Structure 1
Amino acid sequence: MDLLINNNTRLPIRNKMDQIYVCMQIIFGEVAFKPLTIICDDLGYNTPNFTTAGIYHLHGLVRTNNEQLPWSIILKVIKPDSAEKEEPQHHNYWRREALIFESKVLDNLPESIEVAKSYLVEEQQDGTIWLWMEYVEGIHAHSQEQFNFIARQLGRFNGSYLTGTGIPDEEWICRGWLKSWTTSSRMYAPILEPYLNILHREKVLSIWEWFQGFTKDIEHKLASLENLPRVLAHQDLSQMNMLLNKDHSESGRLVLIDWQFMSISGIGEDLGKMFGVNMSLGIIPIHEYEVFQNSLFKAYIKGLRDMGWQGDEGLARYGYCLSTALRSVWEVPQFISLVSQLEVDPCNSKIQDRVAQLEGIINIHMKMALEADQLNN
């Protein structure tokens, strides 16, 4: 039977047969195989990470020992972007994930976390890098129970570095992730001056006044995180980057993908990113913000204790609260600009819903910022 190729993308897949065969050889090991079909689909990647050019799914059938077996590969294409993303300590250094795969750093992670296997890292003449990797089956978390399971596994992951596991020391692992992220967020957030005329509204004015006070000493706040116990962190735990098998009990598997933001961070920071980003994306419902806030932290502490860490729980709480609250540098400007748009278009239900969501998120930021201040005194 002739090889059938169905390429539903603009990628030059027919020019990449050697690379595809290398990946298949890793998948099937010493078993002899003959490719029968190759299908390439665009997964429709549309998350605004400026260093990702696309994510694709290659799959099909091979014949082995007179039977047909399926195969799957993920191909991620990364690309250079702005000048600051050429710096290895930028939070979104564009080469970081390629370097992670080449270094095999992910081969030595604690058992609580699993990762997609890297098959091949390939530099292209157009300056992009193609990352060929394992396709991982799994489901995305929706329920509080599932998120709590992930938080506990995250605590075990972070906790292992507090109880003897050595932290990788490669120069391209970010050391000041939140400092870099807040700097970029403030650079690209909406400029607020045109919208300040709406601050006569009591709620908007109170948020603006809090935000001015919170960001006045932001450099001191960011520096305080450097005093926390250090752990290896993922720093991009959005729903799509966390895969669970169908059994999400204590014996289940948690697979984390997209390690572009890998960092050495303070205890609790990774959890703050997970909580904050999944509120922002609308995965955690507004009416459950406070429930999730508390249950995630309890699960995270259990994970830390599982690994034998007996340190001060307040340190983890501080990292968690402050890292969540620091997301306000992006979300408060979004909120104020959208409220201004409602002045012009008051019946726009889409903007109304987003404003309500952001107001709820900012209320959480304010509470967690206050708690962080109290813990730091």
Structure 2
Amino acid sequence: MELTTAGHEVPFGVSAEVAGALGRTVEEVRAAEVDPVASPAVDGIATVGIWRVRGADWSAVVKVLRHVVDGGRSVWRSDEDPAHPFHWRREADAFADGLLGSLPGDLRAPTCYGVVPGPGGTLAIWMEDVAGREGSTWALPRYRLAAEHLGQVQGHLAREHLAGDPVLDRPWLSRGWLRTYVERRAARGAAEADPAEPRVWSAPLVRRLVPADRVPAFQALWADRHRLLDVVDGLPRTLCQLDFHPHNLFDVAGRTVVIDWAFAGVGALGEDLGNLVVDAVTDFHLPPSKLPELFETLVGGYADGLAAAGWSGPWPGSGEPADVRRMIAAGAAAKYGWLAPAIPAVVAEGRTTLNGRPIEESAPLWVACGDFLVELAGLALEDGR
């Protein structure tokens, strides 16, 4: 059964299962208000859109997925192969499995009310309308608490995996997501403006935005991506959300609720926080001057969470802060070494914006993150481990 919004049919329906999970009849759900929440943010991504369905005293969020057949050169293009890290229906499979509904500790995913097939091969995930304070508004102590909650979950699952539990053997979990992401970034960068070529840094605007004395370090960081990925691959395995971004985090009664599990998979301890420390700055939630403090805040919280989970195992053995620093550093430097080298590509394309803002405003943040990532890469590669 289809729903409508402002007189227009929306690309999802409601099932008896969903209505029952909401404690409503199908007719009640069909009579609810439907409002658009978000449209696809980037090309090629599997998300068709997100809607809020609202009754008098209840609400739900519906996320509609479909495979994008022609994703072009988008880094985010979906794939039809269930084994591919960017498989289009992974989030629906994740909720259907039940793992996300049984995470230990104080971090959880939204409650899922059901998955409904729709027109054109789409899938609609009906889930909890998370009511809480979004991570983009948090102060550093709340970031620390989120890191602690993440450490509780990931330390517990890493310990179970190390003990031979098949918790991470689920076929829907992505594998090798980070390496595929970086390879896609590399292919796109080489096609637009290869950062290894000195000439791409010589355009007047690039010279104004990127200090010439920083260019060799940024080139070296990008050239080291394979070594950094090897470090990440050598870390203990756990469940990762793989888009641990302030917009995807919510404080709900002191617990941390994480939305958007589209890439959920087997990753490394610390990998998710490597994502968070960079995205919090490049997406304008915290100033770059806060990078060192944010990093240490996340390290402290994650170390506490791992300890609470009883984590002990191979390197990074005890979860002491020194080991946790290297875990998070490796994840961040491996994933985001492309940031500063992307500036020449943006200029070469003739674009005047970077990440949705004027390039003169965004580029200094990316350069500052690039400088910090160079430091983190040194930490991650220390002693060749």
Mark yes or no: TM-score above 0.5. yes
| Residues 55-74 of structure 1: CA deviation (Å, up to 9, x unaligned) | 0000112xxxxxxxx11111
Contact 2:60 2:127 in 1 (8 A): yes
Judged with a 3 Å threshold, the aligned counterparts in structure 2 of structure 1 residues 34 and 78 are, in CA distance, closer, same or farther, namely closer
Judged with a 3 Å threshold, the aligned counterparts in structure 2 of structure 1 residues 150 and 184 are, in CA distance, closer, same or farther, namely same
Contact 1:243 1:256 in 2 (8 A): yes
- What's the TM-score, normalizing by structure 2? 0.81
Q: Counterpart in 2 of 1:111?
A: 105
**Aligned-pair identity (%):** 23
Aligned partners of 1:256, 1:86: CA distance in 2, in Å?
25
User: In structure 1, which of residues 181, 197, 207 is the aligned counterpart of residue 202 of structure 2?
Assistant: 197
Contact 1:6 1:40 in 2 (8 A): yes
Match of 1:116, as an amino acid? P
Deviation at 1:366, TM superposition (A): 0.7
| Residues 11-38 of structure 1: CA deviation (Å, up to 9, x unaligned) | 348x83x52x543321228x99966951
Contact 1:105 1:168 in 2 (8 A): no
1:73 paired with 2:60, answer: yes
Deviation at 1:228, TM superposition (A): 1.1
Judged with a 3 Å threshold, the aligned counterparts in structure 2 of structure 1 residues 126 and 159 are, in CA distance, closer, same or farther, namely same
Judged with a 3 Å threshold, the aligned counterparts in structure 2 of structure 1 residues 373 and 37 are, in CA distance, closer, same or farther, namely same
- What's the TM-score, normalizing by structure 1? 0.83
5 Å matches for 1:144-223?
Answer: 144-164=140-160, 166=165, 167-189=167-189, 191-193=192-194, 195-198=200-203, 204-223=211-230
Q: Counterpart in 1 of 2:341?
A: 333
Deviation at 1:196, TM superposition (A): 3.0
Judged with a 3 Å threshold, the aligned counterparts in structure 2 of structure 1 residues 203 and 42 are, in CA distance, closer, same or farther, namely closer
User: In structure 1, which of residues 286, 289, 293 is the aligned counterpart of residue 288 of structure 2?
Assistant: 286
Contact 1:24 1:71 in 2 (8 A): no
5 Å matches for 1:14-33?
Answer: 16=13, 18-19=14-15, 22-28=17-23
The structure number with the bigger radius of gyration is 1
Aligned partners of 2:296, 2:81: CA distance in 1, in Å?
36
Aligned partners of 2:7, 2:286: CA distance in 1, in Å?
33
Judged with a 3 Å threshold, the aligned counterparts in structure 2 of structure 1 residues 32 and 98 are, in CA distance, closer, same or farther, namely closer
1:256 paired with 2:258, answer: yes
Deviation at 1:148, TM superposition (A): 1.0
Aligned partners of 1:90, 1:287: CA distance in 2, in Å?
37
Aligned partners of 2:59, 2:247: CA distance in 1, in Å?
18
Contact 1:91 1:261 in 2 (8 A): yes
Aligned to 1:43, the other structure's residue is in SS state: strand
Match of 2:333, as an amino acid? A
Gaps of 5+ in 1: 62-69
Contact 1:339 1:355 in 2 (8 A): no
Match of 1:54, as an amino acid? G
Match of 1:148, as an amino acid? R
Match of 2:58, as an amino acid? W
Aligned to 1:126, the other structure's residue is in SS state: helix
Q: Counterpart in 1 of 2:74?
A: none
Aligned partners of 1:34, 1:45: CA distance in 2, in Å?
26
Gaps of 5+ in 2: 72-76
Aligned partners of 1:59, 1:12: CA distance in 2, in Å?
14
Judged with a 3 Å threshold, the aligned counterparts in structure 2 of structure 1 residues 217 and 34 are, in CA distance, closer, same or farther, namely closer
Judged with a 3 Å threshold, the aligned counterparts in structure 2 of structure 1 residues 120 and 338 are, in CA distance, closer, same or farther, namely same
Aligned partners of 1:185, 1:153: CA distance in 2, in Å?
30
Deviation at 1:92, TM superposition (A): 2.4
Contact 1:238 1:277 in 2 (8 A): yes
Q: Counterpart in 2 of 1:67?
A: none
Aligned to 1:77, the other structure's residue is in SS state: strand
Contact 1:155 1:303 in 2 (8 A): yes
Contact 2:19 2:26 in 1 (8 A): no
Judged with a 3 Å threshold, the aligned counterparts in structure 2 of structure 1 residues 128 and 282 are, in CA distance, closer, same or farther, namely same
Aligned partners of 2:160, 2:345: CA distance in 1, in Å?
47
Aligned partners of 1:138, 1:343: CA distance in 2, in Å?
36
User: In structure 1, which of residues 128, 139, 143 is the aligned counterpart of residue 139 of structure 2?
Assistant: 143
Aligned to 1:85, the other structure's residue is in SS state: coil
Return structure 1 stretches of 4+ with deviation > 4 angstroms.
Answer: 31-37, 199-203, 338-345
Q: Counterpart in 1 of 2:364?
A: 356
Q: Counterpart in 2 of 1:65?
A: none
Aligned to 1:162, the other structure's residue is in SS state: helix
